[in-house]
Structure 1
Amino acid sequence: MTDSRKLLLASIHDVGPRAEAQVDQLADLLSSLLGGPNFAMLVVPDHWGEAPLAGNAAYQAKLRHWADQGIEMFVHGWFHKDLAQHSGMAAFKAKHMTASEGEFLGLSQREAAQRMADGRKLIEDIIGRETAGFIAPAWLYGDGARAALAEAGFPLAEDHMRVWRPTTGEVLARGPVVTWASRTKGRQLSSRFFAGLARHGLHGLDVARIAVHPGDTTVPALLDSIRATYASFARRRRAGRYGELLHKA
């Protein structure tokens, strides 16, 4: 039975022309599972420096169409690629939590602020409205990124364990995001295992978050797990918008 007081926040990461076919596939999948375009998209302005949104009129039109449908658009870094040298805990995160994708883990405050501002302006100019917030690639934020984010004016931000209001630090939702990893067999198995646990153990959360990536479409077993997980949560709660958290606070 659906509990309208509880939210399901669904998202597609790494949206852009670099993975256009896979993003289209995921958008169709989530629309069918959630009864329409009830999800967010995390948009990368120039994925790995290979797929710039600037100048790509066809993809810009696609983003505007999605935004017009009501899909929330988040700024998702700039390049997504992490080119920094890390030490200590940051080196551990860069090695074990992502594959050179944590762009904002090692940036200075100045560089992080510039990329945030540039990404926001580009995407907002394309979609003709404000972006929903900022989410760092791989959900990883270094000290410079956190400092920049606090001053950037984004309404929302998200990491693995929470959604918060960057201007005040107020936490708006807690709980692990359910996601999948396609990079290795071991990561595929572990992410499927966690998703299975989530389908039984996370229904008590007021806000459940489930995120998919273009690479998930390359592994049929992951797609099966994604379908089962979204269906399980959608039966018990309504698919909503991240922006609703601002009004609940």
Structure 2
Amino acid sequence: MTRRLLASIHDVGPRFEAQIDALTDRLTDLLGCRRFAMLVVPDHWDEAPLSASPAFAAKLRSWADDDVEMFLHGWRHRDDSSDKGFAQRHMTAGEGEFAGLSKVEAAARIADGRKVVEDAIGRPVTGFVAPAWLYSPGAIEAVQEAGFALAEDHMKVWNPQKDQVLARGPVITWASRSPARIRSSLMFSGLARAVLPIMPTVRIAVHPGDVAVPALLDSIDATFRRFTRTHAPSRYADLLR
């Protein structure tokens, strides 16, 4: 059995262009290729519309041409629901956009966002990942009806069309919002490097905020170097084969 390493850069868009450039270079160097995914936000916090940034759209298309998978990552990323659950209040700093949406609203944001991203990259997106990996029941239905073959939450990758789980296990990721979050993510990544090599599929996700914290970058480097010894850098779409 091939052991797969699935890597991704989250929150991709013109708002974080410099950080995305830095992470793209870093992952390309660590993996030895551009076999990773970008999760694209069409208009981050309603402040950075991809449709108004042709230069960044051209970068996305170039990266897609160079084997980078492109996922739709919500619409605005911000959670603007009035009734937030525990995870929305305490784990995402207001970023779980799809955690409280109705099916109708989720479907509308998916359709609008998909058009923006696909117009930019000139091809279909690979799949959908909700911001903060949080989905309301209505959002899950909307993802299924949108026809995506790949979706992801914190604990699995699945095929919404077949309601089939393709890979299980927690995403290794880092948080830069506070010293406590930094410490806890460093602890988890260290534990993951020791425990998760037994998993057939390992997922690693990085965010723009990681770039500003040297300790996180060191941990990211160590984590990729550990798993590239045992797992082949792969595309999410490989899970469908």
TM-score normalised by L of structure 2: 0.98
Does the 8 Å contact 1:164/1:170 carry over to 2? Answer: yes
Instruction: Report what 2:233 is aligned to.
Output: 239
Residues 1:148 and 2:145 aligned together: no
Instruction: Report what 1:36 is aligned to.
Output: 33
Residues 1:188 and 2:182 aligned together: yes
Instruction: Report what 1:72 is aligned to.
Output: 69
Instruction: Report what 2:21 is aligned to.
Output: 24
Does the 8 Å contact 1:86/1:94 carry over to 2? Answer: no
Does the 8 Å contact 1:44/1:80 carry over to 2? Answer: yes
Q: Which moved more, 1:146-155 or 1:63-72?
A: 146-155
Instruction: Report what 1:221 is aligned to.
Output: 215
- Cα RMSD of the aligned pairs, angstroms, is 0.9
User: Which residue of 188, 193, 200 maps to 2:194?
Assistant: 200
Instruction: Report what 1:176 is aligned to.
Output: 170
Q: Structure 1: any 5+ residue segments left out of the alignment?
A: none
Q: Deviations over 1:25-61 (max 9, x none)?
A: 0000000000021210000000000000112110110
After superposition, where does 1:34-113 map in structure 2 within 5 Å?
34-87=31-84, 91-113=85-107
Residue 32 of structure 1 aligns to a residue whose secondary structure is helix
TM-score normalised by L of structure 1: 0.95
Instruction: Report what 1:211 is aligned to.
Output: 205
Shift of 1:232: 0.3
Q: Deviations over 1:100-135 (max 9, x none)?
A: 000001111101001111111111121111111000
Q: Which moved more, 1:50-59 or 1:5-14?
A: 50-59
Q: Structure 2: any 5+ residue segments left out of the alignment?
A: none
Q: Distance in 2 between matches of 1:176 and 1:61?
A: 33
User: Which residue of 121, 125, 130 maps to 2:115?
Assistant: 121
Q: Distance in 2 between matches of 1:209 and 1:56?
A: 30
Residue 134 of structure 1 aligns to a residue whose secondary structure is strand
Q: Distance in 1 between matches of 2:13 and 2:52?
A: 13
